[in-house]
Amino acid sequence: MLQPPHSSLQVAAVPDRRSAARDRDQDAPWHTEAVCRRDEAGLFFAPSKEPTAARLSREEAAKRVCARCPVMVECREHALLQPEPYGVWGGLTAAERRVVLARRRRRDMELKKTARQDRIAAAG
């Protein structure tokens, strides 16, 4: 999704989309190919005071749109790097993106710790 309106787990596996990315014009921005450009923004962003059941249903519908999008991976990475605080981006809700980011931070800390231990072992 491109622009959130002015308002306010388990992570699905990411299908391999590299072949679709290669077929695209590499000079065009990724979002020009986004399937959500043709859909209602309301599907991807919650209206204020949305009931939980309605939110879950809307998010699942948005994820189905994302699942058929040729730039889902690029969209997801954009939302993780920005980070986008609202809406469904790249097939992930804001809460799911927070989980992914926490896992990445934890993994990065573990890798740094292992590298530091390896340097100490090599020196000693």
Residues in binding site for [4Fe-4S] cluster: 36, 66, 69, 75
Task: Give 12-81 as a DSSP string.
Answer: PPPPP-HHHHHHS-TTS-GGGG-GGGGS-GGGTSPPTT--HHHHHHHHHHHHHHHHT-TTHHHHHHHHHH
| DSSP structure class, residue 88 | -
In degrees, rounded to 5, the angle at the alpha carbon of residue 39 between the alpha carbons of residues 21 and 4 is 90
As a whole number of angstroms, the distance between CA 72 and CA 88 comes to 11
Cβ atoms within 10 Å, residue 24: 14
Residues in binding site: 36, 66, 69, 75
